[in-house]
Amino acid sequence: MTGQRRQRVLRVVVVLVLLGGGVLTLARLWQPAAGPLQETMIRLAALVPLAVLPYAVAALGAALLVRRWRPAAALLVLAVAGLALHLWWLTPAFTDDGPAAADGPRLRVLTVNALAYTGASGADLVRLARGADADVVVVEELTGEAYEQALRAGLVAAYAHRSWSPDAGDTATMIWSHLPMSRLRTLPRASGVLSATLRWEGRDVDLLGVHTGPPVWPHTWREDHADLLRAVRRERPDLLAGDFNATTDHLPLRRLLGEGLRDAVDLTGSGWAPTWPSHGRQHLLGVPLPRFAAIDHVLVGRGWTVTSLRRVEVPRSDHTAVLAVVAPVA
């Protein structure tokens, strides 16, 4: 390949990858509530952290061309600006800025999406919760069959306090707890969101177990998040855990965080680590997709902090579980 042809190819590459990064930047900034693009932009927003790669490639390519191609200087500025913006958006996930925890016991909170019908069995879930030494477990997409399996696997001995179980042939979100629970209720309209008060170390801890509708149903997804936001404003819970079907680049989750909640990832600086899809359960053109969306979260309210966070593999599920160790602020 001649030098001129290589330059032409490099120009095309720079423009294309810069456009790709720009699309992801747009998805972070613009998520329409209606119209033909709403689902597309919601889906693209889950990929926003990946924009660092095309912007870096575009910046490198433009730097190589800057002396030989007049537009390269402008493209270099755009690429560097886009790269800087996305690194700034990513900074909280890599910065350990949580307040110090008070001395004393810690509360271990686990959220796990079981993947209804084809995912983790009830025995898998009990084994997972015990292995994580979780005090409270929020389980999403639990079927009646999986719940019966969990009972046979020793759920009652492991978690004496539980919310309502799913009916046969149905799925539900459940809360399993070592701790006494009271004021159990389902939030109005929001799909799969439970409210409970835990009694821990002589104090009441208000918890919301979350499972919103998926973004493939944009209207339901937005309604569920709007209901969840109203509940947070009304009840001011201490903890939220579950499958939010949203990343911190989605507007509804940013609105939740704007109510004084903090994501366990940001408090611990544990980095960008997507939780979906796992185990090749999702495909594109027949090719299994790697994890790319951090949609499972533990959020804490004012007066609480997170001392550690880790992801836990869930057998056969398309989600990774999240285990957060939380404590009151010192």
Reported as a single tens digit per residue, the pLDDT across 172-230 is: 999 999 999 999 999 877 677 999 999 999 999 999 999 999 999 999 999 999 999 99
CB-CB contact of 138 with 242 (8 Å): yes
DSSP state string for 192-213 = T-EEEEEEETTEEEEEEEEEPP
Could you tell me which residues come within 8 angstroms of residue 247 by beta carbon, excluding any fewer than 6 positions away? 45, 46, 48, 253, 293, 294, 295
Q: What is the pLDDT of residue 284?
A: 86
Q: 0.85 exceeded by the pTM?
A: yes
Rg of the Cα atoms in the chain = 22
Ramachandran assignment for 53, one of left (phi > 0), alpha (psi -120 to 50 degrees), beta (any other): alpha
CB-CB contact of 285 with 225 (8 Å): no
Q: Which residue has the tokens 């994501």?
A: 263
The alpha carbon dihedral of 146, 147, 153, 159 has a sign of: positive
Tokens of residue 22, six digits: 């720009």
Q: What is the pLDDT of residue 1?
A: 62
The torsion angle over the Cα atoms of residues 217, 93, 173 and 154, rounded to 10 degrees, is 150
- 4, burial (CB in 10 Å: exposed 0-12, middle 13-18, buried 19+): exposed
Peptide bond into 277 cis (omega under 30): yes
**Local confidence pLDDT in tens for the 330 residues of the chain:** 667 888 899 999 999 999 999 999 999 999 999 999 999 999 999 999 999 999 999 999 999 998 889 899 999 999 999 999 999 999 999 998 889 999 999 999 999 999 999 999 999 999 999 999 999 999 999 999 999 999 999 999 999 999 998 887 789 999 999 999 999 999 877 677 999 999 999 999 999 999 999 999 999 999 999 999 999 999 999 999 999 999 999 999 999 999 999 999 999 999 998 999 999 888 888 899 999 999 999 999 999 999 999 999 999 999 999 999 999 999
CB-CB contact of 304 with 240 (8 Å): no
